């Protein structure tokens, strides 16, 4: 793909073939102390693309990573690129911390995005598609099919496709139609033999139908747009079809609530409606067959410049490859992983009481290595069923659909007369409609539902259970790094602490009072809570390590915040050794003499999406401070979200965190390292340490050791 100017773990022991370096972040220039946020994100998506380029990875996993890459890029254009374009159009020239202004960032983003999608198209057309054909999964073109195959597709078209198609003409009586974001369409030119005029029409490829039509042999797949294109005569009877071209539009989805909104639920519904109907177009994707005449028409009607047009030398929208990944071909996928039940909770799984376990000590759960069902879901389910439980309070940011066991447990608890309070974050981008529906379902069951604050997103992941016991009321809680969603718990790497610690429980109770009432609580016994306390607490801990012998290890999704980056630079210059494991965006430039030579940055990208946040301050495990929670080190998390970090004080749990960090820092299979020039490089494989495989093995070892201990006792 090229931008036109002016005119989302291998199964073998082979190490992945290193992908090319990702040079985007270096565009900020070697003199800048910061790397550009947007270009750093593109570098992350390049690391995702490298997984699809890895020939050691199972074929359907490679196809899956092509689909994830496509979805990631779609969201990036909908949210980030749209925001940059708005700055450019508003004439804002103030540079970001890296020194680039909005126009420079937009130009660099366009160039790097074009290069990445060219790589994506190449790996699909030259590697993945031919390799899939070798194992009986073939992408077929209409023109390559025989008469029997075409007869089958004619029946499919007449019975399933034709009834839902709506051709939309463009002429003086029919204005250019609204084209929804991320929808695939056909631009059609027709000739009217009666008038001699040439007309333009748009046919939308129905998004509710499968992206590929499966042939009767179950091995061949024909793109749906080709099936429609072969039957355009049926859509325009009496007209001569001159030409047709696929295209795809991406619209701005970065709508925010008005600060003066009084009813958050109604305001959020309006945001969802506006995003669906009114967002300006920020990207147009076309294939190489499109004529200049049609391209000019689309650019004019969509109000785009040619710089916003991307020409793809292959099929549009490879997110449709998810349909292939659903095929029952286990030999072409990663070996399945069965999450384990932590030994501490094995008795609970067999009917024991979870509250007695937590009285004996905190429990750390590490998904997807530890089961979400037998840990977090069981904790909430037992609380809902326990007659001694008086109240359950929980935040929900993103969770599963109507079948959610957690939502079912909360409803059951409310129906049983318990006080149930749920903060549903309506502003979780792209989950707004689902969260609106979930909130209404909870309200109908008698749950007290609150929606947080207009100006802040509630991103923290906490549960509080209040239980009447012989000695009085006792609080039990869960603090996590990930969403209460069983689907993502199988593929996102996340941590959670289950605890009966009285001070931690009191903090979470006060946090809920802040979220549901008029409390202005800003200081807590143990929690660090944003927007008031997380940056302050992290900066204080970095400062305490700014000395010879200081030690900082932090694992997170993104590092963007300039004050925290500056503090890390100062700690490095003062003699501290710093290791950062940053999955995605990193604006810190490591290894620069006199600035950051004691800072090392790496990224783990593989089968599971690294999502946990772990912060360790200090060299001695006995005295070091450990924090886990929901917050990344970005201005939005620290200033515009409610986040919480909890200390980990139990030596057993601290040892587990050290184990996780040590594996991440030893990885030489999935790891990439960031150099001082802003370029990411694949770490050479020497020892063969794969974070995901190693943590799977450790989870199995714990399970086996627990069973052996049970057998002895």
SS3 632: coil
Write down the residue that tokens 């409610």 correspond to.
642
Helices of type H across 6-58: 37-53
| β partners of residue 673 | 602, 681
Where do runs of H (alpha helix) occur along 90-171? 102-123, 129-134, 147-156
Count of residues in the chain: 713
Q: Rounded distance, CA 15 to CA 54, Å?
A: 9
Spatial separation of the C-alpha atoms in residues 686 and 142, rounded to whole Å: 47
In angstroms, the CA 545 to CA 576 distance is 6
Alpha helices in 282-353 (DSSP H): 292-302, 322-325, 346-349
Query: What's the CA gap between 264 and 401, in Å, rounded?
Result: 21
When computed from its CA atoms, the radius of gyration of the chain, rounded to whole angstroms, is 27
Indicate which residue of 244, 367, 459, 611 is catalytic: 459
Tokens 């039990």 correspond to 476
Nearest to 631 by CA among 423, 500, 460: 460
Q: Residue 660: name the closest of 494, 545, 537 by CA.
A: 494
Peptide bond preceding 531: is omega within 30 degrees of 0, i.e. cis? yes
What secondary structure letter does DSSP report for 370?
A: B
The closest alpha carbon to 461, from 609, 629, 636, belongs to 629
CA distances from 308 to 2, 110, 114, 116, 295 (A): 11, 8, 10, 15, 12
Q: Is 191 tagged catalytic?
A: no
Q: CA-CA distance, 125 to 644, in Å (whole number)?
A: 45
CA-nearest of 580, 576, 532 to 555 is 580
Find out whether the peptide bond into 368 is cis, omega within 30 degrees of 0: yes
Reduced to 3 states, what is the DSSP secondary structure of residue 658?
helix
Per-residue tokens: 218: 């179950």
- Which helix (H) or strand (E) covers residue 700, if one does? helix 691-712
Q: Read off the tokens for 510.
A: 């006060």
Please give the distance of CA 48 from its chain centroid, rounded to a whole number. 12
The secondary structure element, H or E, covering residue 405 is: helix 405-415
Q: End-to-end distance of the chain based on CA atoms, in angstroms?
A: 64
The answer to whether 301 touches 176, Cβ cutoff 8 Å, is yes
623: Cα separation from own chain's centroid: 35
Q: Is 17 helix (H, G, I), strand (E, B) or coil?
A: coil
Q: What angle do CA 294, 297, 302 make, to 5 degrees?
A: 125
Distance CA 644, CA 700 (A): 30
**82 three-state secondary structure:** helix
Enzyme catalytic residues: 459
């Amino acid at each position: 793909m090229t931008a036109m100017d002016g005119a989302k773990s291998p199964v073998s022991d082979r190490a992945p073939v290193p992908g090319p370096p990702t040079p985007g972040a270096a565009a900020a220039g070697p003199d800048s102390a910061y790397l550009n946020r947007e270009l750093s994100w593109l570098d992350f998506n390049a690391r995702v693309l490298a997984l699809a380029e890895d020939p050691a990875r199972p074929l359907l996993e490679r196809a899956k990573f092509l689909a994830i890459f496509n979805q990631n890029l779609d969201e990036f254009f909908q949210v980030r690129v749209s925001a940059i374009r708005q700055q450019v159009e508003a004439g804002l020239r103030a540079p970001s911390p890296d020194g680039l202004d909005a126009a420079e960032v937009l130009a660099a983003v366009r160039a790097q995005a074009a290069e990445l999608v060219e790589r994506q198209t190449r790996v699909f057309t030259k590697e993945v598609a031919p390799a899939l054909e070798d194992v009986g999964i073939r992408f077929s073109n209409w023109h390559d099919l025989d008469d029997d195959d075409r007869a089958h597709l004619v029946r499919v078209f007449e019975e399933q496709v034709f009834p839902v198609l709506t051709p939309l003409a463009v002429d003086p009586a029919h204005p250019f139609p609204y084209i929804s974001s991320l929808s695939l369409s056909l631009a059609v030119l027709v000739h009217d033999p009666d008038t001699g005029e040439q007309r333009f029409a748009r046919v939308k490829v129905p998004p509710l139908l499968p992206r590929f039509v499966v042939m009767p042999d179950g091995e061949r797949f024909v793109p749906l747009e080709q099936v429609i294109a072969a039957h355009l005569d049926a859509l325009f009877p009496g007209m001569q079809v001159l030409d047709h071209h696929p295209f795809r539009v991406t619209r701005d989805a970065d709508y925010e609530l008005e600060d003066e909104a009084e009813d958050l639920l109604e305001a959020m519904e309006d945001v969802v409606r506006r995003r669906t109907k009114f967002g300006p177009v920020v990207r147009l994707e076309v294939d190489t067959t499109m004529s200049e005449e049609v391209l000019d028409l689309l650019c004019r009607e969509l109000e785009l410049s040619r710089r916003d047009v991307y020409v793809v030398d292959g099929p549009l929208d490879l997110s449709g490859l998810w349909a292939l990944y659903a095929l029952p071909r286990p030999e072409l996928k990663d070996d399945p992983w069965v999450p384990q039940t932590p030994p501490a909770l094995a008795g609970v799984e067999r009917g024991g009481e979870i509250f007695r376990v937590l009285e004996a000590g905190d429990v750390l759960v590490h998904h997807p290595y530890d089961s979400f069902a037998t840990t977090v879901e069981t904790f909430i389910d037992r609380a809902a069923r326990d007659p001694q439980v008086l109240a359950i309070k929980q935040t929900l940011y993103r969770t599963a659909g109507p079948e959610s066991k957690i939502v079912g447990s909360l409803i059951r608890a409310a129906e049983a007369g318990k006080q149930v309070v749920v903060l549903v974050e309506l502003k979780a981008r792209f989950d707004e409609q689902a969260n609106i529906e979930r909130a209404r379902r909870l309200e109908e069951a008698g749950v007290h539902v609150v929606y947080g604050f207009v100006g802040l997103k509630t991103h923290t992941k906490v549960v509080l259970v209040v239980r009447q016991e012989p000695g009085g009321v006792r609080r039990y809680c869960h603090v996590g790094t990930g969403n209460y969603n069983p689907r993502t718990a199988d593929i996102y790497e996340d941590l959670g602490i289950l605890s009966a610690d009285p001070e931690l429980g009191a903090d979470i109770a006060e946090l809920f009072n802040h979220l549901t009432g008029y409390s202005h609580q800003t200081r807590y016994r143990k929690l660090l809570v944003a927007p008031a306390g997380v940056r302050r607490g992290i900066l204080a801990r970095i400062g305490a390590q700014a000395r010879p012998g200081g030690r900082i290890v932090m694992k997170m999704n993104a590092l963007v915040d300039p004050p925290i980056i500056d503090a890390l630079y100062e700690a490095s210059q003062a003699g501290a050794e710093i290791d950062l494991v940053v999955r995605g965006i990193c604006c810190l430039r490591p290894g620069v003499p006199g600035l950051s030579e004691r800072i090392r940055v790496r990224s783990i990208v593989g089968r599971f999406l690294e999502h946990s946040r772990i912060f360790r301050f200090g060299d001695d495990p006995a005295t070091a401070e450990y924090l886990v929670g929901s917050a990344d080190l970005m201005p939005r998390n620290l200033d515009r979200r409610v986040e919480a970090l909890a200390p980990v004080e139990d030596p057993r749990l601290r040892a587990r965190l050290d184990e996780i960090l040590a594996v991440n820092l030893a990885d030489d299979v999935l790891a990439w390292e960031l150099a001082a020039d802003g370029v990411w490089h694949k770490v050479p494989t020497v020892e063969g340490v794969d974070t995901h495989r190693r943590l799977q093995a450790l989870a199995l070892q714990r399970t086996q050791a627990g069973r052996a201990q049970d057998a002895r006792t």
